[in-house]
Structure 1
Amino acid sequence: MGNENSTLIDPDTPTKTLKDRSLRAVADQIRNGGGKRIVVLTGAGISTAAGIPDFRSPKTGLYHNLARLNLPHAEAVFEISYFRENPYPFYMLAKELYPGKFHPTISHAFIGLLAKRKLLRMLFTQNIDCLERRAGVPGDLIVEAHGSFATQRCIDCKTEFPDDEMPAYVEKGQPPRCKQKGCGGLVKPDIVFFGEQLPSTFFDNRDVPSESDLVLILGTSLTVHPFASLPDMTREVTPRVLFNKERVGTLGHRADDVICLGDCDSGVRKLADELGWRDELERLWRGMVGDEEADRQMQQANVEREMDNEMERLVQGVADKLDISGPQADEDLTANDDGQAGITKEAPTVAAPEEAAGTGSAEKDTKEDSQEKVTSEEAGKGGLPAKDPLSDRGDAAAVAGTETPSGGSSSTPQEIKPKVEDAPKPTASVDAASEQSKGPAASHVMKT
């Protein structure tokens, strides 16, 4: 448990628990009683459809909008030492993110439905938006690994501040002071700042994934530790299902890993279809958010999918013009017996025009090799890394909810069966905004 091979699983490797590596098999497992203790892990990608702005995107990200405050650096807004000196930038940010301004997505509603059906063992979330609670997930089943806005306390004496008084202060962008006699310290929501310990509930429940019979991972880069270690705490025979725009972490290394690339909501709808829950899920979700908000989220998702698809078409067009698409193109869209998408070969690395212009005869010699090359950009969805990102001590936690969805894959969910290759080394310091500007990364796994 937790010791992964350095390569992705061979697509011909038989599964140990599931019938095959597909959402249909996952649904069968749940229906047949093999999914009674489901653990869910979520990151910021589950909340972007709700309209919560990301942190790092140029011009629109929250960090960009905080530049006018003359912070020493953008991340200072989440540093406890800077908060003591100047709490106002954080409270301006809190005003933008405070619960009540945003509505759950259908992915949040799906987790709520798992809880309603008594199938949810535990939800671990990196987010601070409390949308899981609004979706009906009981508080005792939620581990908010990076804290949340749900509670607040004095940073000095740790006395809790009244819940009913906090919203008025946040709305004014005014930091409240501790009411304890003789204290008067600054009050901060129970969000984990740099230099603070993760909540004890995280460490108290860290072994829960090892007791699960199914793990669902939604919208996270898995670059911020110790949260990123949770999927590897599961047993080898426990199926792990990833709903994300890119393959992350060690997902794809095990025989029962199912990878569904695309936006979380589309992937969740597909699983709900396989389970026969789709109508119930849609009714539950629309009842939470209302038809107007539901329609807005779906329309926005359609726009983003079309933008991602257009970017892919542009990149493919460049590859075609440079004549590097390779002879395997006819194999790209085969189908298996289940009607799932078939094998897709990876696109090779595209050379910059100025590099391609002077290759001469060398291009002929290297063309065949280039067809076998793949790029593997593991953009980490922009999560704000801990200062010691590979540490597992929990004493340098990153702030939850600061990840942004990477743009490296089509938003249309596609279950994939990984091929054998060297696993990319995750780096917690990748800035998703800069990675997105490069366009989508080439596919580096096979689709099923």
Structure 2
Amino acid sequence: MTEIEATESIPSTSTQGDIESIADNIKNGHISRIVVLTGAGISTSAGIPDFRSPTTGLYDKLAPLKLPYPEAIFHISYFSHSPEPFYAIARARHPGNLKPTISHAFLALLAKKGLLHYLFTQNIDGLEEDAGIPTDKVLWAHGNWKSQHCWKCKTEYPDDLMKRAIHNGEVPYCLKAECGGAIKPNVVFFGQSLPKEFDEKEKVVGQGDLMLVMGTSLKVAPCSTLPRLANKGVPRLLINMEKAGDFGNRKEDVCMLGPCDDGVRRLADLLGWRDELETLWKDAVDAKEDVLKFQDGPSLDECIAKMAAQMDARLGISKGHKNMLENHLSDKFAQMMSKGPSCQ
């Protein structure tokens, strides 16, 4: 286990803006309603790359697929006619093959101690539930993999058939013969609206006495606006690889820059929760190992490489057919001209 690498970036004008003060206020009960916003950064140590990190992020990894633009893989317009790239990476990113991280466990520990007021997550992996966070305390703002439906006619699709398709690397299609639309997990793609519950739950941000933001670039609206809804004077804690959003603009802001897992371990140390956190995490991982459905599956890079090869093969066949046809017509024209012009 590496030592904590997270560092603090604290506004120079701050009087209370430090992680020790936040920990003290949690311990003495002055902070008891923590509102949390999470992004891909809390799941990277589970084997899911974030989206935008250079070379290691998902969007860079997708380059071999030669998409019109990286985000197209998650855009409903692109998915509606080309679902293959999405399902090429589905097995590697399916939550059935993933275990919760210690960052997930920390949030579960907050819930266990009655400190988690509400959690907004932009992630679709559902690892929050695997870690033991009560579902009534979570809004999956972008949906999750728990169910699926036909993108076209909205008909629900059986879980067992979905699992089989993902395991086999196939695109599942609607069971209605007259439809034929591709099946889509109940996740929010670009071009689709967030759940109605999002507008209803936004108000809980103003009820919190700490806004905790973890593992997100704060570049995707409307979740990116949530930290701004925290009341003035309420501390906002960012645990992230780099500064994001408007953090640093308020004297109460605290930024712990580094991996999320390192940040929560440091905070747990300050709170005196480290042993309890590690135990809770181990129990969650052990429980998930007992129910894994997709063990020994291909890696994300392997899935992308396989799909890229298939796409190149299809393109090669298409080009080959075109060249063969052009050569055939050229030969026919040459033969015709060698016999002289047609009299017809």
* 1:224 equivalenced with 2:225 (yes/no): no
Deviations 1:37-64 (A, max 9, x none): 2111111111112221344566655445
Deviates most, 154-163 or 188-197: 154-163
Distance 1:183 1:286, change over 3 A: same
Two-structure CA RMSD over aligned residues (Å): 2.5
- The answer as to 2:134 corresponding to 1:133 is no
CA drift of 1:97 comes to 0.5
1:252 & 1:68 partners in 2: Cα distance? 38
Question: Against the structure 1 CA distance between its residues 254 and 67, is the aligned structure 2 distance closer, same or farther, given a 3 Å change threshold?
Answer: closer
Deviation at 1:73, TM superposition (A): 3.2
> Does the residue aligned with 2:224 lie in a helix, a strand or coil?
helix
Q: Is the 8 A contact 1:104 1:131 kept in 2?
A: yes
The letter for the 2-side match of 1:279 is D
What secondary structure sits across from 2:95 in the alignment? coil
Shift of 1:146: 1.8
Match of 1:122 among 107, 111, 118: 118
Does residue 1:107 correspond to 2:103, yes or no?
A: yes
- Rate the CA distance shift 1:59–1:252 in 2: closer, same or farther, 3 A: closer
| Change in CA separation of 1:211 and 1:174 when aligned onto 2, cut-off 3 Å | same
Aligned position for 1:172: 168
Q: Does 1:74 align with 2:65?
A: no
Q: What is the aligned partner in structure 1 of residue 154 from structure 2? A: 158
- Residues 267 and 71 of structure 1: CA distance in aligned 2, closer, same or farther (over 3 Å): closer
Query: Corresponding residue for 1:278?
Result: 274
* Contact 1:66 1:89 survives alignment (8 Å): no
* 1:186 shift after superposition: 2.1
Q: 1:215 aligns with which of 193, 211, 215?
A: 211
| Alpha carbons 2:100, 2:127 under 8 Å: kept | yes
Q: What is aligned with 1:92?
A: 88
Q: Is residue 34 of structure 2 the alignment partner of residue 38 of structure 1?
A: yes
In structure 2, relative to structure 1, the CA distance for the partners of 1:70 and 1:219 (3 Å cut) is closer
The counterpart of 1:269, out of the listed 265, 269, 280, is: 265
Between the aligned partners of 2:60 and 2:261, the Cα distance in structure 1 is: 27
Alpha-carbon distance between aligned partners in 2 of 1:185 and 1:53, rounded to the nearest angstrom: 29
1:88–1:173 CA contact under 8 A, matched in 2: no
Deviation at 1:183, TM superposition (A): 4.0
Query: Compared with structure 1, are the counterparts of its residues 58 and 259 closer, same or farther at alpha carbon in structure 2 (3 Å cutoff)?
Result: closer
Q: Compared with structure 1, are the counterparts of its residues 275 and 57 closer, same or farther at alpha carbon in structure 2 (3 Å cutoff)?
A: closer
- Equivalent position amino acid for 2:181 in 1: G
Separation in 1, partners of 2:180, 2:197: 28
Q: State the SS of the aligned residue for 1:39.
A: strand
Match of 1:48 in 2: 44
Contact 2:10 2:254 survives alignment (8 Å): no
Supply the AA of the counterpart residue of 1:27.
Answer: A
| Cα 1:9/1:56, change in 2 over 3 Å | closer
Q: CA deviation at 1:66?
A: 4.0
- Is the 8 Å Cα contact of residues 38 and 214 (structure 2) preserved in structure 1? yes
Shift of the alpha carbon at 1:157?
2.5
- Cα displacement string for residues 369-427 of structure 1 (whole angstroms, at most 9, x for unaligned residues): xxxxxxxxxxxxxxxxxxxxxxxxxxxxxxxxxxxxxxxxxxxxxxxxxxxxxxxxxxx
Cα distance in 2 for partners of 1:265, 1:199 equals 29
Amino acid paired to 1:194: F
Alpha-carbon distance between aligned partners in 1 of 2:32 and 2:222, rounded to the nearest angstrom: 26
Q: How do 1:287-298 residues align onto structure 2 when only pairs under 5 Å count? A: 287-290=283-286
- Unaligned runs of at least 5 residues, structure 2: 1-8, 290-344
In structure 2, what is the equivalent of residue 142 of structure 1?
Answer: 138
1:28 equivalent in alignment to 2:24: yes
Matched residue of 1:215: which SS? strand
1:145 and 1:160 map into 2 onto residues whose CA distance is 20
Describe the SS at the equivalent of 1:205: helix
Aligned equivalents of 1:200 and 1:217: distance in 2?
22
User: How far apart in 1 are the matches of 2:197 and 2:180?
Assistant: 28
Q: Which amino acid aligns with 2:209?
A: D
User: What residue identity is the alignment partner of 2:39?
Assistant: G
What is the deviation of 1:165? 3.1
Residue number in structure 2 paired with 1:423: none
> Which residue is equivalent to 1:257?
253
Q: Distance in 2 between matches of 1:257 and 1:63?
A: 30
Which structure shows the bigger proportion of residues in helix conformation? Answer: 2
Structure-2 change in CA distance of 1:22 and 1:91 (3 Å):
same
Does structure 2 retain, via aligned residues, the 8 Å contact 1:9–1:253? no
Corresponding position of 2:229? 233
Q: Tell me if structure 1 keeps the 8 A contact 2:11–2:254.
A: no
Please report how far the alpha carbon of residue 68 of structure 1 lies from its aligned counterpart in structure 2 after TM superposition. Answer: 4.3
Aligned to 1:11: 12
Task: Give 1:206's aligned residue.
Answer: 202
Bigger radius of gyration: 2
Identity between Structure 1 and Structure 2 (%) = 53
Q: CA deviation at 1:223?
A: 1.5
Q: Deviations over 1:206-239 (max 9, x none)?
A: 1111111111111111111111100000101211
SS in 2 for 1:206: helix
**Cα pair 2:239 2:260 within 8 Å, conserved:** yes
Aligned with residue 246 of structure 1, among 227, 242, 246: 242
Residues in 2 aligned to 1:158 and 1:164: alpha-carbon distance in whole angstroms: 18
